[in-house]
Amino acid sequence: MQYEIKGENMPVVICQLEAGEKVITEGGGMSWMSPNMQMETTSAGGAKKALGRLFSGESLFMNIYTAEGGPGMIAFASTFVGHIVPFEISPGNEIVCEKSAFLASEEGVTLSTFFNKKAKTGLFGGEGFIMQQLTGNGTAFLEFDGSIVEYELAAGEQLVMETGHLAAMSATCSIDTVTIKGVKNVLVGGEGLFNTVVTGPGHVWVQTLPVPLVASTLAPFIEVTK
């Protein structure tokens, strides 16, 4: 598979497939394609994995597109202002990402659920109990909100961020939360009660414009106009 990512703030990834090659996306993920791309809807791993994807923010079913009778083309556009980032997934290079980040992948990539082991992280960390994990072999495309800043964390090195800014991390990283100290800081600091903490070793992708932050910023103005 060959691919090209076009656009700036509202990008699209255009994939060129050889005859017989396949790509997988969530239901409704396809934007446009050549007429020889054939679609098959599947639970991709059975009912258990399908329900896991549903809880992690993805569709219950996945669509597999195959180029039949010759080379084919298929495009997947982002759903929000941001970036599409390609990842080469392989054993030892697994990725954990935020809910709804998955856009599309080659057939060899498996999308599954990643459960935060600590209850506090699940309840207050902003990412919920369930995130997404990409394993297997192949290229996967994830969509992130706003711009992306990357960090490489050494073993034990930590990065603290406001809820929602964590886009993805290496599966070797761990995630937890810390309570913001001081009553005054909590009441008038505007940062909420908790921050998300990612601990290395591994790579971390931070997004600058989480959709929930945009929604909360716009909400007062929407209320005013009603």
pLDDT tens for 83-131 read: 999 999 999 999 999 888 999 999 999 988 887 655 444 444 444 457 8
The pLDDT-based confidence of 5 (bands split at 50, 70, 90) is very high
d(Cα 198, Cα 87) in Å, to the nearest integer? 20
Q: What's 46's domain CATH number?
A: 3.60.160.10
- Say if residues 26 and 60 touch (Cβ distance below 8 Å): no
Pairing relationship of beta strands 158-161 and 194-199 according to DSSP bridges: antiparallel
Asked if 108 and 139 count as a contact pair (C-beta separation under 8 A), the reply is no
The total number of structural domains in the chain stands at 1
Peptide bond into 220 cis (omega under 30): no
Top-confidence residue, 63 or 215: 63
pLDDT tens, position by position, 173-193:
999 887 765 444 444 444 556
CA distance 135 to 141: 13
Average pLDDT over residues 16-23: 97
CA dihedral 214, 61, 51, 55 (to 10 degrees): 0
Q: Which amino acid is present at 41?
A: T
Q: Which domain holds residue 77?
A: 2-225
